[in-house]
Amino acid sequence: MKIQKFEYDGRGMKRVFENEKWMVGIKNWKPENDVSGIDCLERHNQTDELFVLLSGSCVLLYANETDEGLVIEAEKMQPMRVYNIPRTLWHNTVTTEDVKLILVEDSSTGAENSDILKLSKPLIERIQKLVEL
């Protein structure tokens, strides 16, 4: 038996390791995560998701639904800290082109137990003002 090694330098996210319980992915920049390309939020209804910033810049967007509408907030990530996105919390990442993130989540997380929320133009504009990379 040998130690396994994984890497990924392409655009977006790739699951580099997965077993029956959990998955580790490497997430790099893609146009949809650029501040000029952000157009949606997602949530995982059954599982948490962890992020670790290795390099570059990333702002975690998160939003809660209220009677007045969606309340969007932003958290600028610091390298080598673990950020947990609790299940059902709307979220997305806004990144610079040099970003490298690690994400860890339950291996069962996928489209069948997650939702995507398309953002209106006013919400996108609010996010673009909120995000400072």
Among 35, 23, 42, 12, which residue's Cα sits nearest to residue 103?
Answer: 23
Question: Distance of CA 131 to CAs 46, 75, 94, 108, 115, Å?
Answer: 28, 9, 8, 31, 23
- List the domains of the chain with CATH numbers: 13-130 (2.60.120.10)
Structure confidence at residue 132 (pLDDT): 76
How far apart, in whole angstroms, are the C-alpha atoms of residue 100 and residue 17? 16
Structure confidence at residue 133 (pLDDT): 66
Predicted TM-score of the model (pTM): 0.93
Task: Quickly list DSSP for the chain.
Answer: ---------SSSEEEEEE-SSEEEEEEE--GGGSTTT--EEEEESS--EEEEEEES-EEEEEEEEETTEEEEEEEE--TT-EEEE-TT-EEEEEE-TT-EEEEEEETT-SGGGEEEEEPPHHHHHHHHHH---
Pseudo-torsion of CA 33, 35, 36, 38, nearest 10°?
Answer: 50
Note down pLDDT in tens along the chain; length 133 residues: 999 999 999 999 999 999 999 999 999 999 999 999 999 999 999 999 999 999 999 999 999 999 988 999 999 999 999 999 999 999 999 999 999 999 999 999 999 999 999 999 999 999 999 997 6
